[in-house]
Structure 1
Amino acid sequence: MSDSPRTRGPVLIELDAPKPAEARSAPAEETRPEALNPADAPPIDAADPLLPRPRTMEMVTRLVGRPPSKLTRFFINSGVALFTFLLSIAALNFINDLLNRYPVLGWIGVALFALFTLAALGMAWREYRAWARFARIDAIQRRAGAALADDSMDKARAVADDLLALYRDRPEMEWNRKRLSDNRGDVFDARTLLTMAETELLASLDQDARREIEAAARTVATATALIPLALADVAAALAANLRMIRRMAEIYGGRAGAVGGWRLARTVMTHLVATGAVAAGDDLIETVAGGGILSKVSRRFGEGVVNGALTARVGIAAMEVCRPLPFLAQPRPKVGNLVTRGLRGLFGSDERS
């Protein structure tokens, strides 16, 4: 062994030669994932399973809005014609036998048959007049739209004259008609004149229409929530919607009979589809969300809220169909406000202002 001290120095460790920059960047490019495209993302389900489904109003809309096919109409018309023909022949034979056997009873039967014929003709005449009145309101709507589009003062004055004549036989609107007649001469703009006519004649009618919609929405919501039978709530909702639509026509100047009321309901449903109002808009989102929260407590109560909201939307469509003028200065009703006020009436605090 040597006694010389061991010297400590730096230790050199030889490493491999570094690779070129191109060689180092190549693997990084190979392992880098491709850029994500939003279009490649999986679709999100539009339907929330927690939201209640308005089955009752879906059935009502399907019953009223779906027009029968040509074969169905031919079957119904031919069946009604055959039944009427056979019934008339049977009645004539019966009256003829009575005249031969018991002349007094036979003449009583002839008188009753004549009265029934007059009543049927009167019903047909009333239906014709009711539908003619609807056609008159529809013509006023078209002329008002043309006056606004052309900014024509002459067309606006003609529309104002038609409105004054439409509500001539309603004594409760005599003061409103007088105010419009006295102030219309001071207006020289078509839109201003139609706005004045809307404010004087239709503002109070709009309040009555809103109250009818609130009552119908309350009825449908209550029927859906409390009636356990499957078709009973559909019948109640159908009756409430038909009554509401007929009341809209009566409020704004039309009179709907049995056949006219059903045709008016189909017109309202067609208007809903044409304007896209069947989709959930901003005025329906809060109500649907509230129905979804309430459905966690009770499914039937959640469906009742949503069915009431859809009934309110049908009522707004009926207002637009039956109203002689479009909404100009008066605010268009919103589903959320109508449903809130309607359901508030369940607890005895329904406001009439």
Structure 2
Amino acid sequence: MTDTPPRRGPVLIELDAPAAAEPRLAPATEARDDTLNPADAPPIDAADPILPRPRTMEMVTRLVGRPPSRLTRFFLNSGVALFTFLLSIAALNFIDNLLTRYPVLGWIGIALFALFTLAALGMAWREYRAWARFARIDAIQRQAGAALADDSMDRARTVTDDLLALYRDRPEMEWRRKRLADNRGDAFDARTLLTMAETELLAQLDQDARREIEAAARTVAAATALIPLALADVAAALAANLRMIRRMAEIYGGRAGAVGGWRLARTVITHLVATGAVAAGDDLIHTVAGGGVLAKVSRRFGEGVVNGALTARVGIAAMEVCRPLPFLAQPRPKVGNLLTRGLRGLFGSDDRG
């Protein structure tokens, strides 16, 4: 056998070509870089928080704002007419029998029936005067808008005269009326004159209106959170909102009876929907977020916060409907501020300054 001498030094073993290996390594490297990019990592808490649903105020808005259909109005009107007719016939027959058997009692019945008729006519006249006063305030609003749009000094003076006449019978505003009457000659354009009228006559009324809204929001929030009975919180919220709307009318110079108060509430809800104020805007975002955080502790308390915020929205809409002038120099109230002060009053620390 022939001995082969052993090889010394490194041994080179050839594998695949480098050109074929590089295309396979490059995509893997790029994919690994994309996978490890921190910017593409999903957020830890990407789920939106479940906000409490304001079922109470939704029911109140649906009850007040939904107008009855024609068939429903025809049914109600015909039913009321039939009931009034039958009641009148029964009363006349009863009084006729009393006159036949007991003439003295019959004449007493006639006198009582006449007094009831006069009282009903007086109630109807009061409702008519209240709605006519609302029409007067609405006319002042339109005249003020036209004066601002056209920069008409004559219309602005007419609006100022109407405002002075509107608050003529209120003794607490006598000093403010005199101050406006003395200083109105210093204004040289329509906006300045209307701003002066707003500052002198409506500034204090706005503070009173804010307090009423805070009280209503506090009542609705507490009723939603503390009343466990079904529909009881709806009744409490409906009563609080109707009372708040009626107080708005009384503060700004209007009057609301039984029928007029309900029609005014429907007007406010219609204005609320028409202006898009039902949606959550900038002044409601923090309140709704706070209700969502509080709902994690108690669902009823979270709903109370959101219902109180929507009640404040209804109150602001009532201010815009009942206020004779638009907001010019005075700041427009915000839901968050009203609700914060209203809920603070639950613990006895509401600042009236």
| TM-score (normalised: structure 2) | 0.89
Structure-to-structure mapping, 1:52-131, within 5 angstroms? 52-131=52-131
Match of residue 209 from structure 1: 209
**Structure 1 residue 304: Cα displacement:** 1.2
Query: Contact 2:49–2:292 (CA<8 Å) still a contact in 1?
Result: no
**Structure 1 residue 194: Cα displacement:** 0.5
Alignment-mate amino acid for residue 306 of structure 1: V
Give the % identical residues. Answer: 89
1:177 has 2:177 as partner: yes
1:299 has 2:299 as partner: yes
1:336 has 2:340 as partner: no
Rounded to whole Å, the distance in 1 between the matches of 2:81 and 2:4 is: 135
1:141 has 2:180 as partner: no
Aligned residues: 340
Rounded to whole Å, the distance in 2 between the matches of 1:46 and 1:282 is: 22
Deviations along 1:327-350, one digit per CA (max 9) or x if unpaired, are 000000011111111111111112
Alignment-mate amino acid for residue 211 of structure 1: R
Query: Contact 2:148–2:191 (CA<8 Å) still a contact in 1?
Result: yes
Secondary structure of the residue that 1:214 maps to in structure 2? helix
Secondary structure of the residue that 1:136 maps to in structure 2? helix
Alignment-mate amino acid for residue 225 of structure 1: A
Match of residue 34 from structure 2: none
Structure-to-structure mapping, 1:160-309, within 5 angstroms? 160-309=160-309
Residues 3, 297 of structure 1: alpha-carbon distance in 2 compared, 3 angstrom cutoff? closer
Residues 46, 128 of structure 1: alpha-carbon distance in 2 compared, 3 angstrom cutoff? farther
Deviations along 1:92-121, one digit per CA (max 9) or x if unpaired, are 111111111111111111111111111111
**Structure 1 residue 225: Cα displacement:** 1.3
Rounded to whole Å, the distance in 1 between the matches of 2:156 and 2:214 is: 33
**Structure 1 residue 296: Cα displacement:** 2.0
Secondary structure of the residue that 2:278 maps to in structure 1? coil
Secondary structure of the residue that 1:297 maps to in structure 2? coil
Match of residue 37 from structure 1: none
Secondary structure of the residue that 1:175 maps to in structure 2? helix
Alignment-mate amino acid for residue 341 of structure 1: R
**Structure 1 residue 288: Cα displacement:** 1.4
Alignment-mate amino acid for residue 134 of structure 1: F
Match of residue 40 from structure 2: none
Alignment-mate amino acid for residue 332 of structure 1: R
Rounded to whole Å, the distance in 2 between the matches of 1:142 and 1:105 is: 56
Match of residue 314 from structure 1: 314
Residues 165, 221 of structure 1: alpha-carbon distance in 2 compared, 3 angstrom cutoff? same
Rounded to whole Å, the distance in 1 between the matches of 2:114 and 2:90 is: 15
Alignment-mate amino acid for residue 57 of structure 1: M
Moved over 3 A (4+): 1-20, 45-48
1:348 has 2:345 as partner: no
Deviations along 1:8-64, one digit per CA (max 9) or x if unpaired, are 5676666667779xxx69x97xx99xxxxxxxxxxxx99742x22111111111111
1:325 has 2:319 as partner: no
Structure-to-structure mapping, 1:5-84, within 5 angstroms? 8=8, 48-49=49-50, 51-84=51-84
Query: Contact 2:225–2:304 (CA<8 Å) still a contact in 1?
Result: yes
Alignment-mate amino acid for residue 186 of structure 1: D
Match of residue 41 from structure 2: none
Alignment-mate amino acid for residue 348 of structure 1: G
Deviations along 1:230-285, one digit per CA (max 9) or x if unpaired, are 11111111000000000000000000000000000000000110011111111111
Residues 18, 295 of structure 1: alpha-carbon distance in 2 compared, 3 angstrom cutoff? closer
Rounded to whole Å, the distance in 1 between the matches of 2:222 and 2:190 is: 45
Rounded to whole Å, the distance in 1 between the matches of 2:178 and 2:67 is: 43
Alignment-mate amino acid for residue 262 of structure 1: W
| TM-score (normalised: structure 1) | 0.89
Rounded to whole Å, the distance in 1 between the matches of 2:93 and 2:17 is: 121
Alignment-mate amino acid for residue 132 of structure 2: A
Alignment-mate amino acid for residue 105 of structure 2: L
CA RMSD of superposed structures (Å) = 2.8
Alignment-mate amino acid for residue 218 of structure 1: R
Match of residue 36 from structure 2: none
Match of residue 37 from structure 2: none
**Structure 1 residue 78: Cα displacement:** 0.6
Deviations along 1:279-332, one digit per CA (max 9) or x if unpaired, are 111111111122222222222111111111111111000000000000000000
Rounded to whole Å, the distance in 2 between the matches of 1:258 and 1:4 is: 123
Rounded to whole Å, the distance in 2 between the matches of 1:305 and 1:10 is: 82
Alignment-mate amino acid for residue 160 of structure 1: T
Secondary structure of the residue that 2:195 maps to in structure 1? helix
Rounded to whole Å, the distance in 1 between the matches of 2:247 and 2:14 is: 99
**Structure 1 residue 136: Cα displacement:** 0.6
Match of residue 40 from structure 1: none
Rounded to whole Å, the distance in 1 between the matches of 2:300 and 2:9 is: 89
